Amino acid sequence: MIILIRHAQSEGNKNREIHQTVPDHRVKLTPEGWKQAEAAGLKLRSLLRPDDTLHFFTSPYRRTRETTEGILNALTSSNPAPSPFPRHTIKVYEEPRLREQDFGNFQPGSSEMARMWSERAEYGHFFYRIPNGESAADAYDRVSGFNDTLWRSFGEDDFASVCVLVTHGLMTRVFLMKWYHFSVEYFEDLRNVDHCEFVVMKRSRENQKYILQNELRTWSEMRREREEQKEPESPIPVRKRWVGSLDGYEIEPGRRQARRQNTVEMFADDAPDVERVKETNAKGEVEKKSRGTMATTSTQSSNRYDLGYARSETTQRGLPSRLKQSPRRLDIPEEGRDGGGSRSGAPSRTGSEASDGPSRPPPHNSMAKALHGQLNRDTSPYRARANTLGDQSEDDEGETP
């Protein structure tokens, strides 16, 4: 059986700025970290059989060596009962190839480290190389060499039945990637293991292969769980009830709002006023109808000319008294039926061409001249004759206008 254990909590896990003044390999455990290491020793003791033999391989960093020491203290302790694993029977090897990924020497300030972590996340954890340090791919190469050494040790007669690797979080994932041939994409998706968490690999008796007993956590799974925990949004928006005041009256939640009233209902108490309004409206409608009838009659009457005579008595019935006149000739120049006056061939009823009245402009085209009898029939043999309109008599055919 192979057990990988990440180191316990260190001072660098609580305060990352410590790496600006303390080398990474000298960072020690916190008091909480020591407790975690001893708890890990008791857990390991419960997993082992009394006849198991142990080999420890630990990173040379101080925090991993202290974690190994705390595990061994609890594993070999006689409290509460004598331990089946005496300290002298356990072999411990310091393995530099299990060290943490090299993050350079003293790390820069917080702002620069934040920029570097952001760039690393965008570039990719496996191939991104830390300035003056190494990438996860570099750590993969040295872990590959350690795995080959471990495989060769399995054939030795005195090799232990249980191999414990005390290392770091990233190195645990890199070890599993090499052992189980994980892809780079799956490595990027793996989350880090917790402090003093056990990753157990048991060998199968059937095919002698080591089977991973843990279910590794991934970032994609965590995002999916968070999405599932969100409450589904209703496709139909919930109608919000308005709570406030209307015309000085407070509307309470759940209280049915009063029905809106029309104008008549609002002034129901003022019955005389309402009746007066109705009566006034009725009179207005009658007056509107009377004015409409008057306007229609006046318009129809104005279109009926009686060759210069005043409007008939029937037409004057719809006119005001000041517009009513006795039948007499209107004192305005009368033109012919075609609008041509005396030049059209019909005598004027109001006088000669020189009578008082507005002068008309001379005709400007052939049709107008024809209507007024001014077109020279000799120069224009095809002109329209005025008698086609019925305004010239046959006696005028031989005359030149």
Catalytic machinery residues: 7, 66
Distance (Å, whole) CA 10 – CA 12? 5
- Count of CB atoms within 10 A of residue 312's CB? 12
Q: Are 344 and 336 in contact (CB under 8 A)?
A: yes
Give the pair of three-digit tokens for residue 174: 């890199």
Distance (Å, whole) CA 44 – CA 200? 11
Distances 275 to 261, 280, 283, 286, 324 between C-alpha atoms, Å: 18, 9, 12, 17, 38
Q: What is the distance between the terminal CA atoms of the chain, rounded to a whole angstrom?
A: 137
| Cα–Cα nearest to 176, from 197, 156, 160 | 197
Residues linked to residue 162 through DSSP beta bridges, in sequence order? 54
Distance (Å, whole) CA 164 – CA 187? 22
Distance (Å, whole) CA 129 – CA 120? 8
Distance (Å, whole) CA 59 – CA 98? 5
Residues linked to residue 207 through DSSP beta bridges, in sequence order? none
3-state DSSP call for residue 212? strand
Q: What is the DSSP string of 234-303?
A: PSSPPPPPP-SEETTEEPPTTPPPPPP--HHHHTTT-HHHHHHHHHHHHHHHHHHHHHHHHHHHHHHHHT
Give CA 164 to chain center in angstroms. Answer: 52
Burial (CB count within 10 angstroms: exposed 0-12, middle 13-18, buried 19+), residue 112: exposed
Burial (CB count within 10 angstroms: exposed 0-12, middle 13-18, buried 19+), residue 13: middle
Give CA 384 to chain center in angstroms. Answer: 78
